């Protein structure tokens, strides 16, 4: 699941008023399901693309360059968020750097966030509209064309 621009005017966030969304793409803060839901609430008002991924997942490797390209194209209009599951942080940081992802990912060491969102397996891509409702869901590797088309629908809607 993937989500996208920093604070979209929601009421989530940290008690100290800071954002749950890291500014460093390789920060990989660990999140549980309630914290991830709070992040999605924080981003409400901005379309968000959430992508569930792992370094050891061949379809995730296949789609990684597409996510990098499209995230740069829609920067400032859609907030991309990676959800790295069942992985190793150092390997995940290397993966992010290798594919040039400029958007943040969060770390789900047990897959519990993915499971709480109702998905099995990876990769999974979800695009949330400005109201925070899922507008597109796809299990498996996504193409650049599919990403552009589905993001366009949310931006035009």
Strand partners, 108: 85
For the chain, the domains span 33-156
∠ Cα 112 115 119 (to 5°):
150
Among candidates 104, 149, 157, 102, which has minimal Cα distance to 130?
A: 157
Considering the entire predicted model, what is its pTM? Answer: 0.89
Q: Which long-range contacts (CB under 8 A, 24 or more apart) does 96-102 make?
A: 96/25, 96/26, 97/26, 98/64, 99/64, 99/65, 99/67, 99/68, 100/68, 101/25, 101/64, 101/67, 101/68, 101/71, 102/25, 102/68, 102/71, 102/72, 102/75
Superfamily of domain 33-156: Glutaredoxin (3.40.30.10)
> In this predicted model, what pLDDT tens digit does every residue of 2-36 receive, in sequence order?
333 333 333 344 545 579 999 999 999 999 999 99
pLDDT of 17? 57
> Would you state the pLDDT for residue 157?
77
CA separation for the pair 88, 17 (Å, rounded) = 29
pLDDT at res. 70: 98
pLDDT, tens only, 58-71: 999 999 999 999 99
The SS3 of residue 53 is: strand
Q: 54 is written with which tokens?
A: 């792992």
- Which string of DSSP letters, residue by residue, matches 75-134? TTTSEEEEEEES--HHHHHHHHHHHT--S-EEEETTSHHHHHTT--SS-EEEEE-TTS-E
Residue 129, pLDDT above cutoff 60: yes
């Amino acid at each position: 699941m993937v989500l996208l621009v920093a604070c979209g005017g929601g009421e989530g966030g940290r008690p100290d008023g800071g954002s749950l969304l890291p500014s460093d793409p390789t920060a990989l803060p660990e999140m549980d399901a309630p914290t991830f839901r709070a992040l999605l609430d924080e981003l409400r008002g901005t379309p968000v693309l959430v992508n569930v991924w792992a370094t050891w997942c061949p379809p995730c490797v296949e789609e990684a360059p597409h996510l990098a390209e499209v995230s740069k194209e829609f920067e400032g209009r859609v907030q991309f968020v990676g959800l790295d599951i069942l992985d190793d942080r150092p390997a995940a940081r290397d993966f992010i750097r290798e594919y040039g992802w400029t958007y943040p990912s969060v770390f789900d060491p047990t897959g519990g966030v993915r499971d709480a969102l109702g998905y099995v397996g990876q990769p999974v891509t979800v695009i949330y509209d400005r109201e925070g409702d899922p507008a597109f869901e796809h299990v498996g590797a996504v193409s650049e064309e599919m990403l552009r088309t589905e993001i366009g629908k949310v931006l035009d809607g």
